[in-house]
Structure 1
């Protein structure tokens, strides 16, 4: 038997409910009703079930979290469910839900009046749900208890306006989410360990030094065949040059993106200038004495005239 046919407990929905409040909303409402039948959480005279949106989504693996969230919000706006917060931990914002059976009964009566008037109302057998034995069943993936099959007098149409609108809306939402996620991936760029080592060794400069631009330049050189060791050695030579010339922390330090750019500044020698030999204190005290002639004495000009 094919695994694509029903070999597991299905999620069920009545066509009349789906037509009245929407297909997605009807599926979610039926699931809430299922869990309320076994819920032990009673507040303000009502039974409640609770879950976060990701936990609800696990019960509907064919939908995204955004679809489940929209269905829950739609049920609230239509008055089919009531939401609350009875969490003991104030940091827990999981919503609690209870079905507004009064509003559901009013919806059923209005539908019955319309269908009776048009002669198109067909009675549908009531569904008996077997309650699960556990005290809390909010984390289960689906309706695991046996459920009687419903005799549907009208099959769901293959294509409906509501289904088409939901599909188009879902596709548009996925497109927006995909565009929104793209910048996040770019901002969380991952760099190679070799680049991170070079970035840490690169001399600090005053002003901008964009790491992302430097990473792109580094990757471009690697792609062109330059080795990481070559660029890292260039960084070390350049850092020694900057320190020797007293340029550390100034705007005269090249931006890393320029250093790793197509001009291959990392290939330059970056030889530090020679440091002049420092004289000792004794040498500085007698500086210039060696160039003097102490054996001859020259008379002043006024004295030489009489000689």
Structure 2
């Protein structure tokens, strides 16, 4: 399969294009008998959905989840779970120029070169709408790891910066997923100004994970850090990943780095050590800029809507590694 499947024991396949009939996902490896709540799944999708937050895209989609298989009377069956979300607000004519014009930094030209054909409407398969499938998979992964808590937040967006301590002191970081919520009005004005100028901006999303047992990850090619990197970098706009002190280590001596175990972000030798895991990702500015961006149907910054996608991918990776460790029977998993 051409790169549409992620995971080994907990796995999922995403499908669909931005302006097609629907997008969806088939999730496999979910245990039988877990409680399923459609409203909880919908709440996760609503966090990512377009048209909900001022300063983001004007495209409005209900993003209503339709469960086709794998669930019966509020319980998972242990069989493949298929869920779709129908597209309802496409304006495909807006993308006629992209039949022959390519956006730098987007997958327009590379997709055409690879396949010799592409759905140019809204970015097709490479659209950010593909990520709704990941959010669905992340919901089911979360059912597998109820004692692990994943909190992602914007740590940098343009002139706005926040720390892990800010996250710990925040009660609710909605709607922009920025811990310093007193800055929400400033953020709104900042994003609206970017839209009016046809400009975009990138930034960082950080992730704090608690309750991870020791022993997840393999010592060579399937290191936990390697799977985090693959999963997070597979998100369209994500351009870099680090854990613990990350790139800061380039400026420190060994005595400084090794002075605190927490500097390694909960992962040593590619295996979880039982401490909190801290990850950092960088997202590029949205590729659609200029006059097309001024029309308002593109995000001037993808970060507010990318946070639930990041959380979902982390859930999927941890659920997969937890199942692997259980299957091997190595060591002891403390949940």
| TM-score, normalised by the number of residues in structure 1 | 0.19
Q: Which has the higher helix share?
A: 1
Higher strand residue share: 2
Greater radius of gyration (CA):
1
TM-score (norm 2): 0.18
| Higher RCO (C-alpha 8 Å, min separation 6) | 2
